[in-house]
Amino acid sequence: MEYWNYILDNLWEVFSFVTGVIYVILEVKQKNAMWILGMLTSAATVYVFFSQGLYASSVLNVYYFAIAFWGLYQWRKDAAKVAFQKNQEDTEQDKAGPATVHLTRLPVKTVWWSLAVLVIGTALLVLVMDMLEDSMSVMDASVAVLSAVATWWLGRSYLQQWLLWVAADLLTLVMCMVQGLYPMAVLYAVYTAMAVYGYFYWRRNGRYVNSGIK
């Protein structure tokens, strides 16, 4: 009885946990349904974080919801490119079987502008969060900006996006523990483990859409 009472009292957290686990599994497998499920997860997570005064993380999930439309379009386009390349090339990888993940090489210039966004964006967001009396402004802002960049990298299918997610998920795990959001803390522990697994899965099963780095 206490178990069900806990679920009812923390319904949005439990919902975010369940959909979040399914989401990250779909992300590792690079299934387009991930973006659709992500919209539902983000909507629930906005409420959970906002109720705890974590405003940057709340806004971040609004961003997740919006960028899901672009991410779905981008993944479908990249998948079409991979399919075209398979028809044009006769490689050993093709003989062994089709690649299950389409990848894009990470340009050096993207790394530099991403670092600039992380530093400048976090500093500015901390100022805003302090004015809003965010309960954990520095960590909340850091997670928000880091996750925003990671989501963009995810949409572009960069292998290295998993490394950003490891950092962001660990920071969010700490925030959830401090705020007493234990179901969410477990979720982000799962996210962290899956991000590590996802990195190696993509590296092992990926096929690059672009052949060069600009």
Domain of 20 in residue numbering reads as 2-208
Q: Which residue has the tokens 């779905």?
A: 72
- Give the phi and the psi of residue 30 in degrees, each rounded to 5: 55, 55
Q: Is the residue at 18 inside a domain?
A: yes
pTM score, whole prediction: 0.75
pLDDT of residue 2: 56
* In-domain check, residue 213: no
Q: Does the residue 138 lie in any domain?
A: yes
- Provide the domain count of the chain: 1
Of 164, 122, 166, 139, give the one whose Cα is nearest residue 54.
Answer: 139
Torsion angle of the four alpha carbons 69, 77, 164, 21, in this order, in degrees rounded to the nearest 10: 60
Residue 179 lies in a domain: yes
Question: DSSP character for 53?
Answer: T
Residue 78 within a domain? yes
Any domain includes 214: no
Kindly provide the residue ranges of all beta strands, DSSP E only, lying in the chain, ordered along the sequence. 101-103, 206-208
pLDDT (tens, 9 = 90+) of the chain, 214 residues, equals: 555 565 556 676 777 778 778 888 888 888 888 888 888 888 877 877 788 777 777 887 888 888 888 888 888 877 666 665 555 554 444 444 555 788 999 999 999 999 999 999 999 988 888 887 777 888 888 998 998 899 899 989 999 999 999 999 999 999 889 888 787 788 889 889 999 999 999 999 888 876 544 4
Look at residue 104 and tell me if it is in a domain: yes
